[in-house]
Amino acid sequence: MLRAGHSVRHAGLDQTRRQGNRGAAIVEPQHPDASCSSDLSRRRLWFVVESGTDVRLVDGLAERFDLSIVAREIPGGRAISREHDPRIPTVIGPPSRIRFARVVWRTLTSSRDPGLVLVQGYGLAAMITNLAARRIARPTLMLVCSPNELYYLCRRQDGDPAKPFRRLELLGLMALARLNARIARQYIVLSRHLAEVVRGHGTRAPIDVIPVYGVDITVFRPASESKTVLRQRLGLPDQGALIFFSSRIAPEKDAATLLKAIRRLLDDGRNVWLLHRSGSYRSLLEMANHYGVIDRVIATDAVHPQTHLAQNYQACDLLVQASREEGLGFSTLESLACEVPVVATAVGGLRETIREGETGWTYPVGDAAALARVIAAALDDPAEATRRAALGRRMVETEYERRLVFDRLEALLTAI
């Protein structure tokens, strides 16, 4: 069963952090004044996050619901991709998934606040959230942004010794997916592909396809300045083709195939550069050195998605999404919103947005030669690239625009 949703506004309370008595850092409301007090007309929403989430999703939920967050600490990373509104009550639980599950259970079962629970993913925390919500008779929905077991399978192809493939871990992920499918009451997924993944777990619960957090087309928009001006401002090369790779470095993102394709393009005499912005950029630089292209790779830490990311897209000639597997792929949508052409693998949720001959170019997973050919084709036909990117922008406006998708999400949650 696939459905959609529709529309409302903001949340807030001043808060301070203290250390919880069982390993959870708690952010609590503190003497709010009238200007930041909670809007009692809005629905209470608990958001449980086990494996990290994007601040843009948090911001969108906080605009429309009286939001509280329970998130697991991510070793070496962030529970929420950027600092979020400090007025949102937040519990940061311990990095251990088992201990975090206990924090989720205690937090939800001890709360007297009525409302909904939205849990991201279908891991251990989701199972505990579903069980806790049943105990306290609170409506709960599962938000699925990634196909966990399919991402994990990519480790087998990647061969990174830091992220080894272990069959027992894969079986554990699959078992949790099926257990959640038995007790879940409702799913929200980002794409039709993810709906099929969830159905494959054996669920009979309703599944709604809503691509939150969408794309803010007022931020991600066509450039008002030339690429030359943008590159000078950003300190980027003013000669040659600039290719953007904005994915994190992980087995499912397949940076190696892209670097091999860059090597082929350079060997063919093409003047190409690769731009990368992510928290794992040092790993990409190590890989670039291995493939002999480090002098053509510009890699830095991630930039702020609301203030700096769009101009990086706008400065580039092309975006490449090289994923072995993908739930949806927001980088491609943001690039198209900026009317920057896209090359992507024909896999997962990318097949719903990057359509060969219409909104971009596609190639088979892991095929560096094919990737080099389609990059060359896109760069050699700027008129066609412009046409496809413009079609992509229109698709984003009608199907993935931020306000539209949050309206749909809000209508679904307030109807429960």
pLDDT of the residue at 12: 30
**Within a domain: residue 217?**
no
User: Do residues 153 and 50 share a domain?
Assistant: yes
**pLDDT digit of tens for each residue in the chain (416 aa)?**
444 332 222 233 233 333 343 455 544 433 333 333 345 578 999 999 999 999 999 999 999 999 999 999 999 889 999 999 999 999 999 999 999 999 999 999 998 877 899 999 999 999 999 999 999 999 999 999 999 999 999 999 998 898 999 999 999 999 999 999 999 999 999 999 999 999 999 999 999 999 999 999 999 999 999 999 999 999 999 999 999 999 999 999 999 999 999 999 999 999 999 999 998 999 999 999 999 999 999 999 999 999 999 999 999 999 999 999 999 999 999 999 999 999 999 999 999 999 999 999 999 999 999 999 999 999 999 999 999 999 999 999 999 999 999 999 999 999 98
User: Do residues 207 and 250 share a domain?
Assistant: no
User: Do residues 30 and 179 share a domain?
Assistant: yes
User: Do residues 49 and 83 share a domain?
Assistant: yes
Cα–Cα distance for residue pair 63/81, rounded to 1 Å:
18
Helices and strands (H, E) in the chain, number of each type: 15, 16
Q: Is the pTM of this model over 0.75?
A: yes
**Tally of domains within the chain:** 2
User: Do residues 185 and 283 share a domain?
Assistant: no
Residue 172, domain CATH: 3.40.50.2000
**Within a domain: residue 222?**
no
pLDDT of the residue at 143: 98
User: Do residues 292 and 392 share a domain?
Assistant: yes
User: Do residues 395 and 408 share a domain?
Assistant: no
**Within a domain: residue 95?**
yes
**Within a domain: residue 88?**
yes
**Within a domain: residue 23?**
yes
User: Do residues 207 and 344 share a domain?
Assistant: no
For the sheet with 297-300, list strands across it: 297-300, 272-277, 241-245, 318-321, 342-345, 361-363
Which is it for strands 25-29 and 44-49: parallel, antiparallel or unpaired?
A: unpaired
User: Do residues 95 and 243 share a domain?
Assistant: no
Give residue 297's domain range.
Answer: 227-400
β strands within 73-224, DSSP E: 90-93, 116-120, 140-144, 187-189, 207-209
User: Do residues 284 and 335 share a domain?
Assistant: yes
pLDDT of the residue at 23: 52
